[in-house]
Copies of this chain bind each other. A is one copy, B any other.
Amino acid sequence: MTSAQVGQRVAGFIAACRRQGVKATRQRMEILRELAATGEHPDAETVFSRVRRRLPSISLDTVYRTLHMLQEKGVIARVPSMQDRARFDANMDRHHHFVCTVCGRISDFYSAALDSFAPPPAVRALGAVDSVHIELRGRCRKCRSELKKNK
């Protein structure tokens, strides 16, 4: 996401806060900015250490609470993970994930073919589908390269 786009996300968030009678604090803006600027789907501890560079007195509890508030308001999304830390995603466009099974990196990718995928009719027996999520698992370029070196 470009700097301009990040700025727009934050500005839009501020406007939405005003509409909803929710305070647009500096902490909230910086947390969203950090999440919007990174494509790494970070956990709370990572967001905390990065935002602390600009807001040295921010608390970890504020980061946790704010991430959950942003998720609740649909501003960001939580990413399902096999790790023991919650991961978050500011990209709310329709997209998919590539997850490295070695280092845990999560990368976005787009695919019109995947977007247009329709769940098999038999799934209706399980319930009502609201969304489809595709996760590709494998080894990212970096880990592939390093694994080759080590063999």
Contacts and interface: CB of A to CB of B under 8 A. Distances in A.
Interface size class of A (residues with CB under 8 A): 35 or more
**Quick one: copies of this chain in the complex?**
2
Interface of A: 78-82, 84, 86, 98-101, 107, 109, 111, 113-114, 117, 119-120, 122-123, 125-141, 143-144
Contact of A131 (B82, B113, B138): B138
A114 B120 contact: yes
A126 B111 contact: no
13 contacts: A78-B82, A80-B81, A98-B127, A109-B126, A113-B120, A123-B136, A127-B138, A128-B138, A129-B137, A132-B136, A133-B135, A133-B137, A134-B134
